Amino acid sequence: MKWTPALSLALLPIAAIHGPAIAGPRINLTVEQAQQRLFPGQALTRHSFTLSDAQRAQMQSASSVREPFRTERVWRSAKGDWFILDDVVGKHEMITYALAINANGTIKAIEIVTYMESYGYEVAEASWRAQFTGKTASATLKLNQDIKNISGATLSCKHLTDGVKRLMVMHDLALKGH
């Protein structure tokens, strides 16, 4: 077996030098940093609860998200607001995001906690995240319906939107009123 180096392979070192130097950035907040962004100056207490199989099935049915939710990632403020940490499938890695829900059941804000993909960092921009603010569990929360897509970040936009829908349904089923 013999391979004579071809002209095309000469371009490899150029790409190797050039590529990583301008590859996309990464977002990697700690949970504490995300909590302070969404609830500045407030103390949050971890909330222990469980989800029944029927509740999980309802969450999946409403959102189509299949990744299991980890119930130990829910915190509550003294005012009755909620901070929920969750993962959704990204292009390569899992995307971690935080959802803040007001005591009255409306979305306060979302924050991108961990994002390490080649493209799609626009999902962390305030203008895209602001679309969720004020929505409730009864909102459609569907990409290209009440949530606008970002060109080049479709998969991230879709999975984050579905993830928020799942958490709002979970809030309605298991957190509201506690």
Site residues for other proteins per CB under 8 A = 1-4, 6-9, 11-12, 15-16, 18-20, 22-24, 26, 64-67, 88-89, 91-94, 116-120, 143-144, 149, 151-155, 158-159
Least separation in angstroms between residue 147's CB and other proteins is 12
Residue among 21 and 43 whose Cβ is closer to other proteins:
21
- β-sheet bridge partners, residue 42: none
Least separation in angstroms between residue 3's CB and other proteins is 5
Residue among 27 and 98 whose Cβ is closer to other proteins:
27
Least separation in angstroms between residue 125's CB and other proteins is 15
Residue among 8 and 48 whose Cβ is closer to other proteins:
8
